[in-house]
Structure 1
């Protein structure tokens, strides 16, 4: 016998109305056709809410709990999806099919989907992936600048185009759900995810993040609106990213009052109002309470106060951190706190068993289960999955990395470059007759240029500590861009170690951080690497004027070195379109980027949150206009 919640019983009354309504729709048909009436939930002409109610009316407890889990693709099979009624599957960072092509992705996702569509009720899965700066797991997709660069560009119209282009590339692989954008406003740049935040200013984060959501999802309406070449977004990570003590990843927020935290909630409020349909919860704690188990923050603030009607998803194994070593207690607290979908890559069978037991022992109510399932199914209906569960093969054939999308990325790159110093107007570079020396291995290496979350979780380095891959994915390096823009009468030489600079008119020296993601990027010292200091000193000894480009996921401490530089450009992590850097170096376009973070003089300013008298203030950025 099925168990039903109070909420569910009330909603069933609406289902009865829907049944009568659907029968009326069939009134013009003969009686034989009426006897084979399409189930309400499969009727695309009916409102989404009524379709959800009808489907839930037919679901067992096991099927409902199955909808609440999201395994990793490597730990689930087509048969598992069919037999357990799994609701979602994900690819973690770098988890890719054997053939890392649009065709390979679409075939893999469709194979999983066949398991869902041949289950008793035919409820499709929703497949999720981290497309956080373009469709970054896919070989030869367009890789956009990381969010810190897009914050410097500060162009909402461009952000909407970026969202649309990313959605098209995600759909080209048969996927309709991305865990993006990140709406954090990092306050301590020691944090290894700083580059995922558009700015330290929550207002700017809200403006740009909302524009991306609109591009990814399209315009909100009463029926399914996430179809075709649009995808479901997951704004993340609610809430407290970048506020933790000492910038520790997955750490504790202790230095901000409830009132102060409210301003960091505002970006989520704006994105929800714009239609964001899922929210991912942060690993962080607030005053010692893991947010994955914080009922006040998830249910009271997010669902009630902000009026969020989509589903709340956990981060990767996030719920297990609530009561370490006690899976059952962790799941109980997390479900009751308001998590709807559980990203549990490997232990998903244990989740199914434990959750059923919690319900049967009345430690988790059916109201809570029905709320979660209702939210999940509503997003799936909005996503058009019940009508079009499989990959659109026309979009797959179009592929990723189109020239149109590369032009959007190139625009983003040039608008993200921030000119911080330009002594004697050494920039823009001259196109004809100048002898240009390009120095540094990071000038001609796609791994360094694209950073973390590119093809693999940690970016171009296949093993942490290894050398970033120069040919990681298709694109144009900064060195290539300079050669392309220089003109046929301009001599461009290159040296990875800086040897041979003497005799040139100008040296473009590229320095920066190696690829990293999440906790692997946490730092106690944000000074330049010794290898970069050695490179700078070698070029400096030649007496050639230096234009220094810093590729990094945050401001670095350069106070002692910048006095020796003739020009200084914050290039951030520009992605695959190095031509965009050359566009502004040679003056084809003016520098327009402005700092979206305060640039500190020293580590003390970072550690004490002292933003007075910085090396460069937020909003700073020069132009080459008038040269």
Structure 2
């Protein structure tokens, strides 16, 4: 009886968390509420306040005694917790109780009892809470080429968010990463539009299937900032906009994403937060988005102070709201913005109809999440996702070089060293407890993480002995290295986010390169493990001497355990690069879909998109392509030709007919993948949608249109290829 009751209860909870109210019902609820709101109350609805406005001293502290009055004065429709701004105690229970308390106060003191919706950045798990499991960052998930895995990760994240009383996350990043120098490159799923599109759709499905609103960010062009600098201007042609930057957002919208966040930067010299062309004509007109459009942090103010495109906040508010922004994410200037928007409405710069439209969208958003139906009841108990985190990390790991067969480590004395060998901060990267990473800002808690050195020690097979020494003790370290059979050096980028994570030279800190040179100089085999959010350019004379090079990306809570299994050969290296790895920093921005130009001498990356080695070998043969009404069905016989099981992955590339404009030599469009036993062959089929084979036709400064051109097409997978003709 008890077990039956428990099953009924858990089933009910699961179904209630997963059920989003349908659009028509939600909008009817919203319209009824909108009719009862004054202009001031509507302005409150479209304003987001930081939750520190409701805490003692405006910091991580208990709810303030005057929080009820603050709700009444600001009338905010939504509340934000920024990256690392936490309640006290910063525990799952502390979060759930804190947000439930704010929810109760809001319902009692906000107009018509309409609760505020809480939004947060949960970009690789519930990353503000030290007790939470953190998954690999998106760039690693892109390397897995497995949307089903991404969906599973986001489902787990959503369940944890709901337990903490949060129903809105500013994720997934739908930007296509086109410049690895950019500080947010690791938040993307990679460089290829089709890859990002598939991952984004999976992320949206996972989050919203568990009752948490997804936010596609940052619309659009954010992933191509000038000079690789965060929030830089992007110069994008109409053709590039449609071929490269819109498909991932289109995929997220088709998956049902409830919200979109605007790009903090500018496109073609126009700040996106004031671009009606992008935010209304393209996002809502072309892509058909009908949900909530939210600004990024303080970005309407930036139109005045940073971009200097508007003379004052009144005109900045009018420009943004008229461009399409529904909700302004403001951490500190709620009163100033509300006064500015009120003046804009009163003076006619913003119509009452536009204000009503924005407020209606937020009210509908809340209704879809079920927030109008009753108070928050999150359990305050997080699930243990460490098994899933290890599975996800293992799927990302990419072996770039193993020239001497040093890996797997089977016998002998192994020395492990390097700044990333036992560093939760480096292993987790940015947006981990604090937005700048572990140990940064006002949050000092260190999460429980399985790092590399302890994992190598704890799980060493018979015949392997492991010792670990920090890199700071250089004489002792080099003496130990000379006595070892293999040296594993764990290197990585210091954790950071946004502009602080820009890396113009694509290098590691100088002291890490010195360490690597010193270890290579011992003459012993050195295996380098990189924990980084982008391709790293190592000195060529050093890299050529390495006995092994592993790209671990930013692998999350269980990254060390997954790496130990792979280095010892208990598992393999299924990950494949989701980007092109440049040979030098001069090649930053080199992508697999770059067309031939100039003298026809196309630059070649050090490692191409989709590259990766494993402990086994594979082949794609007997490739066939069959056109159909919605796309082309590609089939290939994938073979694991090695002596052990592994994941076989081949990126599919398409050669398109001449279109009048530059075409990629071969455009990446899909992936073929299978887990195969040694010697096994399996036929795998994938459908490449027609829109991935379209060309955007038009002159340099004219309009462009998509067209599936007549002519001969070629699909390439590994060494196999198939031609087909469209009439």
Instruction: Work out whether the TM-score is over 0.5.
Output: yes
Matched, 1:217 2:212: no
- C-alpha separation in 1, matches of 2:392 and 2:138: 10
Show structure 1 runs of 5+ residues with no match. Answer: 1-42, 219-228
Calculate the TM-score normalised by the size of structure 2.
0.75
Question: Which of 453, 456, 472 is the equivalent residue of 2:431?
Answer: 453
In the TM superposition, what whole-angstrom CA distance separates every residue of 1:453-506 from its partner, at most 9, and x where no partner exists? Answer: 111121024269xxx98x721110011221232136531100111441122221
CA contact (8 A) 1:164 1:230 kept: no
1:176-215 matches, within 5 Å, as: 176-215=167-206
Matched, 1:376 2:362: yes
Shift of 1:230: 2.4
CA contact (8 A) 2:126 2:157 kept: yes
Shift of 1:604: 1.5
Partner of 2:319: 333
In the TM superposition, what whole-angstrom CA distance separates every residue of 1:220-244 from its partner, at most 9, and x where no partner exists? Answer: xxxxxxxxx4211111000011212
Moved more, 553-562 or 522-531: 522-531
The 3-state SS of whatever aligns with 1:620 is coil
Question: Which of 240, 253, 263 is the equivalent residue of 1:282?
Answer: 263
- Which protein has the bigger strand share? 2
Matched, 1:413 2:393: yes
Partner of 1:599: 581
Question: Which of 119, 141, 145 is the equivalent residue of 1:128?
Answer: 119
Partner of 1:492: 466
Show structure 2 runs of 5+ residues with no match. Answer: 1-20, 55-66, 306-310, 472-476, 595-601, 617-642, 645-727
- C-alpha separation in 2, matches of 1:78 and 1:541: 65
CA contact (8 A) 2:581 2:605 kept: yes
Give the direction of change, closer, same or farther, for the CA distance of 1:45–1:190 in structure 2 (3 Å limit).
closer
- C-alpha separation in 1, matches of 2:24 and 2:554: 46
CA contact (8 A) 1:78 1:114 kept: no
- C-alpha separation in 2, matches of 1:283 and 1:501: 47
CA contact (8 A) 2:37 2:111 kept: no
- Which protein has the bigger helix share? 1
Question: Which of 581, 604, 622 is the equivalent residue of 1:613?
Answer: 604
Matched, 1:250 2:231: yes
- C-alpha separation in 2, matches of 1:593 and 1:78: 51
CA contact (8 A) 1:235 1:280 kept: yes
Moved more, 516-525 or 289-298: 516-525
The 3-state SS of whatever aligns with 1:423 is coil
Shift of 1:388: 3.4
Partner of 1:441: 419
Tell me the C-alpha RMSD between the 2 structures. Answer: 2.1
- C-alpha separation in 2, matches of 1:482 and 1:539: 19
Question: Which of 76, 92, 100 is the equivalent residue of 2:90?
Answer: 100
In the TM superposition, what whole-angstrom CA distance separates every residue of 1:152-173 from its partner, at most 9, and x where no partner exists? Answer: 1111110110010111111121
- C-alpha separation in 1, matches of 2:182 and 2:22: 46
- C-alpha separation in 2, matches of 1:406 and 1:277: 29
1:20-31 matches, within 5 Å, as: none
For CA contacts below 8 A with separation 6 or more, give which structure has more relative contact order.
1
- C-alpha separation in 2, matches of 1:607 and 1:242: 10
Shift of 1:441: 2.5
Question: Which of 557, 564, 587 is the equivalent residue of 2:537?
Answer: 557
Q: Tell me how many residue pairs correspond in the alignment.
A: 562
Calculate the TM-score normalised by the size of structure 1.
0.86
1:78-477 matches, within 5 Å, as: 78-118=68-108, 119-218=110-209, 229-254=210-235, 256-263=236-243, 264-324=245-305, 326-393=312-379, 396=380, 398-400=381-383, 402=384, 405-430=385-410, 433-462=411-440, 472-477=446-451
Shift of 1:614: 1.0
Shift of 1:304: 2.1
